[in-house]
């Protein structure tokens, strides 16, 4: 017990400090917003606000991960599932769309809501034939021959493994029901299959279209949404596609 006393105290101090940091950053953001209302949005104020928002996001992220780890340990040790089900049911209740305003008309029928949401996002993401800028004739930087050849090389085990390890394992699972933690934990078993896929992808890049079929999830912007503008759509990217994207994004 004595040997663990010091590191436990140090850990508690770090967690309290993180919480204080979040509160401090929130207060600073409020001060910056008040100052901006009185003096206007100067370049320095905008830069300061972006910096504070970035620091606050990192701080809150660490706090969420800490609570997630604590809750998992508690549930695993004590078998305490009541709180888990309470949180799950509460989240389901908040995410349930019982009625919503579509074209200024309140809809409550599930089929009507489903069709309305589908129609809304179909129009939102549809290519309406906008004129895109042309880059022909621009004096762009060119790659040397060695760089061009490097881009055409087959995927190596090392770069794929680096991409897998850099993925956040706590993300929601993709359409296949698997998240990135599964790939990390079972890498020795599925390594050959993953590398075979990358070999096929290198020969025929059109396969990426099959992986890029994603689901859209609606995230609440406010506690009591009224219309589609009160939701923020996010794309649930598949696990394999995310690994491919990370490998391709590597400089």
Cα gap 235→53, rounded to integer Å: 23
Give the pLDDT of residue 1: 47
Give the pLDDT of residue 204: 84
What mean pLDDT is predicted for residues 146-160? Answer: 85
Poorest-pLDDT segment among 10-14, 38-42, 109-113, 213-217: 10-14
Give the pLDDT of residue 6: 58
Q: Where are the domains of the chain?
A: 2-95, 97-140, 144-249
Q: Is the pTM of this model over 0.85?
A: no
What mean pLDDT is predicted for residues 178-202? Answer: 86
Comparing 251 with 214, the larger pLDDT belongs to: 214
């Amino acid at each position: 017990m004595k040997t663990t006393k010091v590191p436990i105290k140090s850990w508690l101090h770090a967690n309290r400090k993180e919480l204080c940091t979040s509160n401090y950053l929130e207060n600073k953001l409020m001060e910056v917003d008040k100052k901006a209302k009185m003096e206007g949005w100067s370049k320095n104020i905008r830069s300061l606000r972006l910096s504070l928002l970035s620091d606050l996001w990192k701080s809150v992220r660490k706090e969420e991960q800490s609570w997630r780890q604590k809750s998992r340990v508690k549930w695993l040790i004590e078998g305490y599932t009541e709180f888990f089900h309470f949180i799950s049911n509460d989240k389901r209740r908040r995410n349930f769309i019982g009625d919503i305003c579509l074209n200024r008309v309140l809809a409550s029928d599930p089929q009507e809501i489903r069709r309305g949401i589908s129609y809304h996002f179909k129009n939102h993401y549809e290519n309406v034939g906008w004129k895109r800028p042309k880059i022909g004739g621009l004096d762009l930087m060119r790659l040397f021959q060695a760089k061009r050849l490097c881009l055409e090389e087959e995927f190596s085990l090392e770069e794929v493994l680096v991409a897998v390890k850099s993925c956040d394992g706590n993300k929601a699972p993709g359409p296949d029901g698997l998240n990135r933690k599964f790939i990390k934990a079972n890498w020795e078993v599925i390594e050959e299959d993953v590398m075979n896929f990358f070999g096929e992808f290198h020969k025929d890049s059109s396969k990426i279209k099959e992986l890029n079929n994603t689901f859209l999830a609606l995230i609440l912007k406010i506690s009591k949404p009224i219309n589609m503008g009160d939701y923020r759509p996010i794309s649930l990217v598949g696990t394999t596609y995310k690994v491919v994207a990370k490998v391709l994004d590597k400089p």
